[in-house]
Structure 1
Amino acid sequence: MTDNQPDGWAQVPHVDTLRGTQEPPVPVTAPSAHRPRRRLRRGALVGIIAGGAAVVLLLATGVVGYAVQSSSHSADRPVRAFLDDLTAGHVDDALRLAGVDHDDADVLLTDAAYAKATDRVTGYRIAATRTDGDTATVRAYLRQGGRDVASTFTLDRTGTDWGVFPVWELQAPDLGRVQVSVRGPGGTPVEVAGQRVRTSDDGIANLTALPGSYAVTVDGGKWFTAADATARISGFDGTSSAPVSMTTELTDDGKQAAQQAVDRWVDGCIASTDPAPAGCSFYAYGEDPAYTYTNQKWTLEQRPQVTVGGWLSRGWTVSTTSLGRATFTADISGPGGVGTASAGPMNVNASGYVSGFSDAGATFESAVGNGSSDTGS
């Protein structure tokens, strides 16, 4: 059969031309208008890093600086400085730092004197610091003679540095005192840590001292001596040493000088032409006013024997162990004619005391005046 219609297959595209559904082609455009990020130059990057590090360093430095300044302005710093000077033996610097007033009479407050002390402050540790307003209290332990001694220091705030950090001033600590009592003549020379001073009229020496132990000796020359002693001062709380009492004793030269002084006193009384010699232990009485007395004299028939003892309040005691004897004679003239008058023998009591010594020897003072206790008068 013949189909007169056009061949429909002739209108179908060849299979090679079939590609399926196609999207419209994407147009090719110019490069994007957003340019890639520029990389920083190396120098700029280093600058930024360095700047950041500088800020961090400044902050760190500020923190460290604040901590350092806070430490250097703490209340215990003046105490440490004072004790550092003291342990190094720099007494003048330490006292100046602490505001301790002293003068030439304070013979123990020197580098030389402190160097001769024992049990000095050789170290310390700060135990506690307490602040109450403008006042601070620092408690420390001082190392003395192998042991710890507690001491307390007071400080006052006197202002601020840079308006932030407090300025503390150490108040003068209470120093101790070496107290020496010498049972001997007033004005006796004593040496404390090699420093020579004299006692008062009542035999006392009082010296301001730093913590330590001080050797004390009496210088009685060839006349008297005393056992050496030691005064001890602990810490800075105004503690005085236990009073050092030193009792003097006469040397052999001192005892001999004392005997000679007694003999001079007796001889002086015997040399008097007065029936009642002033200051002597014997006298004659009973003169008749109707007679005239001439050629008056005392004669020592027996010298008193004495012994010299220890020191009492007025001197070394002199006790009569054997009374002396003395007589008084005089030529007389009167209504009954002329003749000789006599009195005695009288007891010669040489009890008294030796009050001191000089280059000439001992000084003797009688305890019996004008025979007031002489039963033989």
Structure 2
Amino acid sequence: MSQALVKIAAGWLLGLMLAVAAAVVAVNLVNDSVASPQQPVREYLDALHEGDGGRALGLLRASVPTSSAAMLDGSALQTAAARITNVKVGKEEVQPDGHVKVPMDYTIDGSRLHTDFLLEKTGTEWLFFDTWAFVPAPLPVLDATVVNSSQATLNGVPVNMPNGRNSFAVFYPGEYEASLNDEYFSAPPTKATVSGREVPPAPLNLLTQATDSLKEAVSGKVKEFLDTCAAGAVEQQRLQPDCPFYHATNNRVTPGTIKWEITEYPKVSIEPFGGRWVVSPLDGKARVTAQQEDLFTGRVSELNVVQDFSFTTRLDIGADTITVTPILTY
């Protein structure tokens, strides 16, 4: 009877030991997976990919610097995170201050990058399971500038650029692309990669240029001005009209024979200068024809001269208007 009890007790003891061992293994597995320091990092990355800025900010326990928050939620955030691929979250590394560093390797646009996340143990749940959280820190700030514009597009979202500049709080890692593509002004896209909070990201500088549409509109107004001026000179029969072009002669010109025509229209170049847009000096050619009489010999001949001319203009661009004002000097 005693031997049977011993066997039963031994069986129970063995079962208890196996259960304890299994529980220890289970606790270790949980602490190495869902209760590991890597888990908040994975949850944070999920929030970035979902464009859930509120959840990402709460997980990261980050403070937001004084800056625009346009990149911290929605499609702008999703776009920044969508370019993160080939993610590998590494084993945590214990730091001298008791924090742990969780390394992460990943790829953005074909470049292999690395980010370290700093976490701290905040307690336990159910007596056995560790809880971890990011060490609080400010978010990085991405600076952007644009020449002669108060608007731009950042990660597909229109953003304000007061006086041509702004600063944006951003999550990391991620890639941010600025561009400008208006009817009259555009700038080639430029990108910046934010891999961490320790190293400030390179600024996004948009070099604005006048579009072909604006150049064509200004060219049309310049052509209209020159054609009108030439027609007026013919109507008034003037060799020296109130135009950029003129002809001086000592001969007597027969009234009714003067004709002006523009043989080469100026090529329009529009550049930024002093916070506004200016048209470079406009150079062209005009032909004048007429009958003329030499005052000394009385000889009559045909006048046929091509005159080079040059003038400047003032360019004013409103919401719906383009005004080109010629500036003539005599």
Please report the TM-score for the alignment, with normalisation by the length of structure 1: 0.55
Give the equivalent residue in structure 2 for 1:302: 242
1:317 CA drift (Å): 1.8
Matches of 1:62 and 1:208, distance apart in 2: 45
| 2:205 alignment counterpart | 244
Map of 2:57 onto structure 1: 95
Q: What residue number does 1:191 align with?
A: 153
Matches within 5 A, 1:26-45: 44=5
Q: 1:120 aligns with which of 84, 87, 111?
A: 84
1:132 is paired with a residue whose SS is coil
C-alpha distance in structure 1 between counterparts of 2:110 and 2:280, whole Å: 49
In the alignment, is residue 130 of structure 1 matched against residue 130 of structure 2? Answer: no
Deviation at 1:170, TM superposition (A): 0.3
1:122 & 1:95 partners in 2: Cα distance? 23
User: Aligned AA for 1:93?
Assistant: R
One-letter code of the match for 2:156? G
Q: How many positions carry a matched residue from both structures?
A: 265
Query: 1 CA distance for matches of 2:110 and 2:282?
Result: 53
Give SS of 2:72's match.
coil
Pick the structure with greater CA Rg: 1
Counterpart of 2:168 in 1: which secondary structure? strand
Residue in 1 that maps onto 2:25 = 64
Task: Give the TM-score of the pair, scaled to structure 2.
Answer: 0.61
Give the deviation of 1:76 after TM superposition. Answer: 3.7
Residues of 1 paired with 2:88 and 2:49: CA distance? Answer: 9
Q: Is the 8 A contact 1:315 1:356 kept in 2?
A: no
Q: Deviations over 1:141-164 (max 9, x none)?
A: 233334431212222344444677
Specify every segment of 5 or more residues in structure 1 that has no aligned partner in the other structure, as ranges.
1-37, 265-299, 323-348
Q: Say which of 223, 230, 234 aligns to 2:190.
A: 230
Cα distance between partner residues in 2 of 1:350 and 1:357: 23
The equivalent residue for 2:71 is 108
The aligned counterpart of 2:232 is none
Tell me if structure 2 keeps the 8 A contact 1:127–1:141.
no
The root-mean-square deviation of aligned C-alpha atoms, in Å, is: 4.3
**Structure-2 separation of matches of 1:109 and 1:121:** 20
| CA spacing shift, 1:304–1:211, aligned 2, 3 Å | farther
Query: How far apart are 1:127 and its partner, in Å?
Result: 5.2
Provide closer, same or farther for how the CA distance between residues 48 and 152 of structure 1 changes in structure 2, counting only shifts above 3 A.
Answer: same
Aligned with 2:95: secondary structure? Answer: strand
Q: Distance in 2 between matches of 1:115 and 1:54?
A: 51
Pair 1:83-2:45 in alignment: yes
Identity value in percent: 17
- Secondary structure at 1:196 match in 2: strand
Using a 3 Å threshold, how does the CA distance of structure 1 residues 101 and 176 change in structure 2: closer, same or farther?
A: closer
Structure 2: distance between partners of 1:350 and 1:224? 24
Q: CA deviation at 1:195?
A: 0.5
Match of 1:273 in 2: none
Structure 2 distance, partners of 1:59, 1:319, is 85
Q: What amino acid is aligned across from residue 302 of structure 1 in structure 2?
A: D
Name the residue aligned to 1:311: 272
Matches within 5 A, 1:1-377: 44=5, 47-68=8-29, 70-71=31-32, 72-86=34-48, 92-101=54-63, 105-117=68-80, 119-126=83-90, 128-161=92-125, 167-172=131-136, 175-184=139-148, 186-187=149-150, 189-201=151-163, 203-209=164-170, 210-221=172-183, 223-226=184-187, 228-237=188-197, 238-253=199-214, 256-257=217-218, 302-304=242-244, 308-321=269-282, 351=312, 353-354=314-315, 356-362=317-323
Residue deviations 1:257-296 (CA, integer Å, cap 9, x gap): 58859x99xxxxxxxxxxxxxxxxxxxxxxxxxxxxxxxx
* Cα deviation 1:46-66 (Å, max 9, x = unaligned): 743442233213321342244
